[in-house]
A and B are shown apart, each in its own frame.
Chain A
Amino acid sequence: MRKRLLGLLGLTPLSNLMAADGAVAPYAYEIFTIPVFDGFELTVTNSMIMLWLVCLFIVLMVRLAVRKAEMVPGRGQSIVEMIVEGVEGLIEPIVGKKLTRPTFWLLASCFLVILINNWSGLLPGVGTIGIQTTYADGKEHLDYWFRPANADVNTTLALAIIAQSAWLFYVLKFAGLKTLLMDLFGNKADIKDVGKGVFYMLTPIFAFVGIIEVVSIAFRTVSLPFRLFGNIFGGENLLVNMMGLTGVDWLGWILGVPFYFLELLVGLIQALVFTILVAVYIGLICNHESEEGHAH
């Protein structure tokens, strides 16, 4: 087994970015372990390192920007205010006025953390700095230290678990269990419009639809993380493959450049999609303002 430390992107042979099977590995590599207590070790993966670094960066940037919130904002504070107002404008029509402020921290944090993590994959050094390992079968493999956190299902799943838990909390707090159950299983037909017979016939159908709805809600814990993971992991693969297309290591970056712009866009869109979907899930049960408005 041969090990060597590699430099930044461009200095690294592109073949090294790929896993032993030729593609970017669909999982994060274990870089080192921290013994916590006897018989238990905390495994640290490259996506964990990246997530912590990105989180640290976000916290530092935000603290630097909003060191002391001033009535007349400086440049940093203006950027944070722009994000705040942007997210607020985005979620208010979805979750409703009543829930905008209570859910703001969740949705704004989701957006910012996902966005920066998505874009972190485009930084030089991410996926290219690590230890070159030659396995027993003779294949060379780079155990890189930094992997975009959202290219690891553990991260996106953690985000989805937080989002789903928050969804349940806000639904129970602001809509209540009765509203939730009525929304899921209740008969939504108007007895005056359809008549008693049809109304009672529809009741079991609505109850069955409710079961499907529960499955659909439960499945959000799968769809949310895999959508985000798929896009970011796919982006990583796309970049690596495009860069390897020329066959010349030092020239590989040329084909990658247009796709960097694409990935910037994908990163933003996926952050927006995740945030909007979580907002929509909350708004579907809690926000009946527009319906009431129509009714009146």
Chain B
Amino acid sequence: MIELFQIASEVTGTAVEAQSGGIVDAIATKFHIDAGKLISQLLAILVVFTILRVFAWNPVLKLLDERKQKIEDGLQYAEEMRTKLADAEKQQQETIRESALEAKRITEEAQKSAKETIESSMSEAQLKSEELVARTRESLELERKQMLTEVKEHVSRLVVTTAGKVLDKQMSDSEKAAYSEKAAEELASK
């Protein structure tokens, strides 16, 4: 530090002694300030400043801007996607709700239709069965009547034959008819 003060005092001392402009010369002499050296340093610094500008600052600044833009775009895109997703989810919920309603409606319709079909089938079956029963009854009645007629004939013939054998005589046709008729009336009355 003492040396620094010495330098300062030397420069000031020289300056006091010097005429106007002498202090500048004194400083220039003391610190060896010289146009040639100054220009050389100036050129060196300018060259390195230019190199730094072209090869470091400009590409990095450009890249930082690009990255900033990309991040902004990305955030905007994410926001858009979030909105779209929310919309899609909302739409999906709406679709699910509509589908559920539609399914319910279809099920109800199907149930109704099935019920109707079952009812219709049942009534038809009942009708058919009733018809079948009636027909069967008719058929049975006819068969019974036919059987009764046949039984009557057989019994009448049997009565006549039996009566002829009991009486041991040949019966005329009118007697046979009378016996047969009598037997038939008897059978019919029982």
**Residues of chain A having any CB pair with chain B under 8 Å:** 21-24, 26-28, 42-45, 47-48, 51-52, 55, 58-59, 62-63, 65-66, 69-71, 77, 80-81, 84-85, 101, 104-106, 108-109, 112-113, 149, 152-155, 157-159, 161-162, 229-230, 233-234, 237-238, 241
Closest to B49 in A: A109
Interface residue? B177 (CB, 8 A): no
Interface string of B1-12 (1 = CB under 8 A from A): 101101100000
A55-B47 in contact given A26-B7, A27-B30 (Cβ < 8 Å) = yes
Which 5 pairs of residues, A with B, have the shortest CB-CB distance? A23-B3, A27-B32, A55-B48, A105-B53, A158-B41
Chain B stretch 1-30: residues in CB contact (< 8 A) with chain A: 1, 3-4, 6-7, 30
Q: Is the CB of B59 within 8 A of A69?
A: yes
A104:B57 contact, CB within 8 angstroms? yes
Q: Is the interface of B mostly helix, strand, loop or mixed?
A: helix
Q: Is B134 an interface residue (CB 8 A)?
A: no
Cα of A23 to Cα of B62 in the assembled complex, Å: 48
In the assembled complex, the CB of B29 is this many whole angstroms from the nearest CB of chain A, namely 9
A-B contact pairs, 6 of them (CB 8 A): A26-B7, A43-B37, A59-B51, A63-B55, A105-B52, A108-B52
A26-B30, A27-B30, A157-B38 are known contacts. Are A66 and B45 too (CB-CB below 8 A)?
no
Known A58-B52, A63-B55, A105-B58; further 20 A-B contacts with Cβ < 8 A: A21-B3, A43-B37, A51-B41, A55-B48, A66-B55, A66-B60, A69-B59, A81-B64, A84-B60, A109-B53, A109-B57, A113-B52, A152-B37, A154-B37, A154-B40, A155-B41, A157-B41, A230-B4, A233-B4, A241-B1
For chain B, the count of residues having a C-beta within 8 Å of the partner chain is 38
Closest to B47 in A: A55
Contact between A154 and B32, CB atoms less than 8 A apart: yes
Bound Cα distance from A21 to B51, whole angstroms: 40
Nearest-CB distance from B129 to chain A (Å)?
A: 86
Task: Please determine whether A59 and B55 come into contact, CB atoms closer than 8 angstroms.
Answer: yes
Given A51-B41, A237-B3: A69 and B62 interface contact (C-beta under 8 Å): yes
Neighbour of A27 across the interface among B31, B41, B42, B67, CB < 8 A: B31
Write the chain A residue with the least CB distance to B54.
Answer: A105
Residue of B nearest to A101 (CB): B61
Q: Min CB distance, A47 to chain B, in Å?
A: 8
Q: Are B48 and A113 in contact (CB under 8 A)?
A: yes
State whether B55 touches A26 (Cβ < 8 A). Answer: no
Which residue of the partner chain B has the closest CB to A230?
Answer: B4
For the complex, give the distance between the alpha carbons of A24 and B2 in Å: 12
A241 to B48, CA, bound (A): 33
Contacts of A24 in B (CB 8 A): 3
Which A residue sits closest to B11, measured CB to CB?
A: A26
Q: How many Å from the CB of B20 to the closest CB on chain A?
A: 16
- Whether B186 sits at the interface, judged by CB under 8 Å, is no
CA A255 – CA B36 in complex, angstroms? Answer: 38
8 Å CB interface, B109-157 against A:
none
Determine whether the beta carbon of A153 is less than 8 Å from that of B45.
no
- Cβ of B63 under 8 Å from chain A: yes
In the complex, residue of chain B having the shortest beta-carbon distance to the beta carbon of A18? B3
Please judge, given known A-B contacts A77-B60, A154-B32, whether A162 and B46 are in contact too, CB under 8 Å. Answer: yes
- Cβ A234 vs Cβ B4 within 8 A: yes
Question: Taking A42-B36, A48-B41, A84-B61 as contacts, is the C-beta distance between A105 and B55 under 8 angstroms?
Answer: no
- Take A81-B60, A85-B64 as given contacts and tell me if A51 and B45 are in contact as well, using a CB distance cutoff of 8 Å: yes
* Contact of A26 (CB < 8 Å), options: B31, B48, B64, B70: B31
